[in-house]
Structure 1
Amino acid sequence: MRSGKIRVVVVDDSALVRSLLAEIINRQSDMECIGTANDPLIAREMIRELNPDVITLDVEMPRMDGIDFLGRLMRLRPMPVVMISTLTERGAEVTMKALELGAVDFVAKPRVGLASGLNELAADIVDKIRIASVAQVRRLPAKAPAPPTAPGAAQAAPPPAASLLGRLSTEKVICIGASTGGTEAIREVLVHMPADAPAIAITQHMPAGFTTSFAARLDALCRITVKEAVNGERILPGHAYIAPGGRQFALARSGANYVAVVDDGPPVNRHKPSVEVLFRSAAQVVGRNAFGIMLTGMGADGAAAMREMRDAGSYNYVQDEASCIVFGMPREAIAHGAADEVLPLTQIAPALIARLRGSGGDRVHHRI
């Protein structure tokens, strides 16, 4: 990095998109577009020659689609990738697969008004490139089979079944917040939860149009039921509820039950949905019956409210730095004194299940 700038290669089969993305990138003082490619085979040679810090990658391209290319790239030469997705059902499904394969994040390009739409998204695009440039990317296993690209293709079998918790109070609610890298981190937690787990409320920073596919993907992998939250519905054990993209999600009390509040409230911490909104509601209405989990993500969304949860009696888990794609939100949660335990991602679900099983979920002395 002789210039000190973030060096970006743009891969897209549209000449217009390549031109627009290059222009947006080159307007920034801290980054430059060092090359563009119209298909993955050209991109492969360009990456070898130029050794960029980040690539932006279109999903659908000639000769080799973006998902096949991403899978090969993350096995052979892992690097930060920001996917350029389309706002369609198939685009959302393929984007979920890209995140599973190791893409750091994605930008949803508009279906109409491409030039004006991309320029409106310029701040979001360059923010995600900056985040990707410092993300911890991991190599896919070399012997992994080629990933299925067709929507609805068979998924990997879930881990061995966790035994049921049994006779656990239905008052318990688990609240999870995440951003960059969070889709796979959330999956890692949820696939280990037994079918009778307490209700789980989740806010993952994601735009409208993508959370439906995200929920469906998790539902196919998990023993619990995973769905998008619907305003006014009862929050039930054995279910996980995901904040719909572009909406705020909170918990409320209705008699003896918890219910979902999904509305068009303003952004909080620049996010909609915001982890702060969910966690603050948990502090107010769930209190000592709540468990908080803060996973990978950039920024500080949810950190202050997670401290409010702890002050109200919740028990909170925070993902450790080594296992995070981006150690932003977890770092801030720790700095706010919100964490009871800081654990590697793979240890969070087992620790939570052990606590639920061992104490009926009751709060015990803090470790941190």
Structure 2
Amino acid sequence: MIAADSALLRPKNSADVILSAGLSTAVARSTDQIVAIGASTGGTQALELVLRRLPATCPGMVIVQHMPERFTAMLAQRLNAICQIEVREARNGDRVGAGLALIAPGNKHMLLRRSGTHYLVDIVDGPLVNRHKPSVDVLFRSVAKFAGANALGIIMTGMGDDGARSLKEMRDAGARTIAQDEASCVVFGMPKEAIRRGGAEQVMALEQIPGALLAFGRSSGVRGIS
């Protein structure tokens, strides 16, 4: 209880402390597509269900799961062992590509950036955002700015509102967006707030998300890493 109370006393910074809001700088079209996923409470099980159903030809993914340092690496290793795709904890400068899921390391923020015709991730330090590091809002804002309509944003089970504001930014930048429905969430906080703010284009059960993710990839003409 003391730890929870002390967390509530921390300043609730917005993503502005890491990356300013602004118009999307993404090119109108790209053959490299990005799926950005944010989750918190209940997210490890939700991620397992989604990632285990994806083939190695699926779009590249960048993921924030609220977890402490070291636990994100353990999560990535476990998922990598049971999935067809490659799953690993992200390193600074990693390229995002088909069949690869990069999980933000605990106690660091992860941002997407564009380099020429492809996408990379930056792993940075900085203050907590929405009392979290990594923060979903930080990742989603960077995806809105640098991938725009080339992206799909998915907000899943979790407490609080991290990711809700910037899922709306993604949608406004032309991205497709999905919120997990209440019935399939362990905690409906993050998706509920994203829906309330108008960030969710679609609301669907967890079981439907893998199919929607693959449909996004097919419609976008996903290609592998060259």
1-side partners of 2:112 and 2:7: how far apart? Answer: 31
2:175 corresponds to? 314
Q: Tell me what 1:254 maps to.
A: 115
> Could you say which residue in structure 2 is the equivalent of 1:237?
98
Contact 1:170–1:198 under 8 Å retained in 2 = no
What is the CA distance between 1:313 and its match in structure 2?
0.6
Q: Which one-letter code corresponds to 1:295 in the other structure?
A: M
Matches within 5 A, 1:2-151: 121=3, 123=5
CA contact (8 A) 1:170 1:237 kept: no
Counterpart of 2:62 in structure 1 is 201
Distance 1:215 1:348, change over 3 A: same
4+ residue segments displaced more than 6 Å: none
Equivalent-residue separation in structure 1 for 2:85 and 2:168 (angstroms): 28
CA–CA separation in structure 2 for the residues paired with 1:317 and 1:277: 17
Return closer, same or farther for 1:181/1:235 CA change in 2, 3 Å cut-off: same
1:292 maps to 2:153: yes
2:45 aligned to which of 158, 164, 184? 184
Deviation at 1:175, TM superposition (A): 0.2
| Aligned positions, number | 202
Please report the TM-score for the alignment, with normalisation by the length of structure 1: 0.53
Q: How far apart are the structure 1 equivalents of 2:121 and 2:215?
A: 27
1:170 offset after TM fit, Å?
Answer: 4.1
Percent identity reads 54
Give the Cα separation in 2 of the matches to 1:252 and 1:217.
Answer: 27
Higher relative contact order (CA 8 A, sep 6+): 2
Deviation at 1:187, TM superposition (A): 1.0
Q: What is the rounded CA distance, in whole Å, between the counterparts of 1:361 and 1:299 in structure 2?
A: 35
Q: CA deviation at 1:361?
A: 6.0
Question: 107, 116, 126: which is aligned to 1:265?
Answer: 126
1:306-355 Cα offsets, whole Å, 9 max, x none, are 00000101101110000000000000010111111100101111122234
Aligned AA (2:64): T
User: How many Å separate the matches in 1 of 2:172 and 2:7?
Assistant: 37
Q: Give distance in 2, aligned partners of 1:350 and 1:122.
A: 36
Match of 1:335 among 192, 196, 200: 196
- Go from structure 1 to structure 2 and tell me whether the alpha carbon gap of 1:281 and 1:122 turns closer, same or farther (over 3 Å shift): closer
The amino acid of 1:123's aligned partner reads D
Name structure 1 gaps, 5 residues minimum. Answer: 1-24, 26-118, 127-168, 363-368
Structure-2 separation of matches of 1:355 and 1:234: 20
**Which residue pairs with 1:227 in the alignment?**
88
Structure 2 counterpart of 1:247, which letter? K
Q: State the match for 1:350 in structure 2.
A: 211
d(CA) in 2 for partners of 1:212, 1:262: 14
Which residue of 1 is the match for residue 137 of structure 2?
A: 276
CA distance in 2, matches of 1:240, 1:170: 17
Unaligned stretches of 5+ in structure 2? Answer: 9-29
Instruction: Return the index of the structure with the highest Cα Rg.
Output: 1
Deviation at 1:356, TM superposition (A): 2.9
User: Which residue matches 2:26?
Assistant: none
- Residue 189 of structure 1 deviates from its aligned partner by 1.1
Indicate the residue corresponding to 1:112 in structure 2: none
Per the alignment, residue 39 of structure 1 pairs with: none
Residue 123 of structure 1: how far off its partner (Å): 3.0
**Do the aligned partners of 2:32 and 2:97 also contact (CA within 8 Å) in 1?**
no
TM-score, reference length from structure 2: 0.84
Offset at residue 191 of structure 1 (A): 0.9
